[in-house]
Structure 1
């Protein structure tokens, strides 16, 4: 009996070890990032792959704060957008296709942040209505065109779950009210701010490094 228990325990232990190894996230390679030492960043208008037409403006309006808090000088997005407009560049796809060295000549920034919105808006079900935003970004050295970093983050307005009572009728009423709110207001706008913060705040696993304006710049 004892031998059988030991055998089962060994199998369980091996399974746990294998599972842990399979789910462990590999360390991000920051070699290029540390070598480039970017001080200033120009954020390009986001490429919007969601069906919501306002997604680009919503994400773009909230992208500067987490980068600045992470220690970088970020060119004002309104000025950047107007500069592109004055030069006949009105679509994010065209702007993302520009030569990085050309962007360096125009803005003088060390790096460019290319943001892509893959999900933005409310998803409706019988018992719920959830606003979800998913953003991806890559940081590129504008002098060499080298990729310095890339990442992805998501957020929703239902992350706390629905812990209220009321049974099925209460859930249906709550879902109906939430659907009205999400359809009459841009419920995804504050969610986009959370997604941006998760993606662009330095110090997290796989996240960007602290910039030279941060007190933690020399400790990373």
Structure 2
């Protein structure tokens, strides 16, 4: 049995799909964030879900700048990492399991930033080579354990690549050259800086709010 859909109904379905596809993201609920008003943040070394062992500390080295520019006092990340290790917590997974109240007692910060690196490094795909860094973050109030904000960001060297000319041979050569450059220069660290800026820059849609020291 053949099912015939009226033309008007089909048009409405297509229009509905277009509207859904173009819908803007739901605005983030900042109620808890605004009530908390954190002034100081301790950043925990990121959990690394990528195969590259450099990912965690590469991203960690970039996060202070955007948070400071957003108006927060950020505890020195190297000091925080060493404090954890002096207390027997040797990796990021263990550090993230520490109770918020205990972190507040040790560091005295209003909030903690928990980061997870989901992608880091280069990939070679026959006719393309790119470096990708992706991360998720959560800001937790250490005084009551409440979630204040969460977000995610991704950066890739492929964003600026133009592979429209040269044909298949050109694409293969470009991919090979990019792979060599990415490996020799550790472009993952450079891309991690872009990802951290996208993740933690204030005053962008659904991004982190400005802190009390913002200009």
Indicate yes or no: 2:18 matched with 1:19.
Answer: yes
Indicate yes or no: 2:84 matched with 1:84.
Answer: yes
8 A Cα contact 2:139 2:148, kept in partner: yes
Shift of 1:16: 3.7
Indicate yes or no: 2:114 matched with 1:114.
Answer: yes
CA distance in 2, matches of 1:79, 1:24: 40
Deviation by residue 1:163-183 (Cα, 9 ceiling, x = unmatched):
463222222111111111222
Instruction: Report the secondary structure of 2:158's partner residue.
Output: coil
CA distance in 2, matches of 1:203, 1:47: 26
Deviation by residue 1:19-59 (Cα, 9 ceiling, x = unmatched):
32453311111000000000000000000010000101100
Query: Partner residue of 1:187?
Result: 187
Superposed, 1:10-159 pairs within 5 Å as 15-16=14-15, 19-21=18-20, 23-159=23-159
Matched positions, count: 208
Deviation by residue 1:42-77 (Cα, 9 ceiling, x = unmatched):
000000010000101100000110111111110110
Shift of 1:204: 0.9
CA distance in 1, matches of 2:171, 2:163: 10
Shift of 1:15: 4.2
Aligned alpha-carbon RMSD (Å): 1.8
TM-score, L = length of structure 1? 0.88
Note closer, same or farther for the CA distance 1:176–1:83 as it changes in structure 2 (3 Å cut): same
CA distance in 1, matches of 2:122, 2:11: 42
Q: Mind listing any 5+ residue stretches in structure 1 that lack a counterpart?
A: 1-6, 216-220
Instruction: Report the secondary structure of 2:160's partner residue.
Output: coil
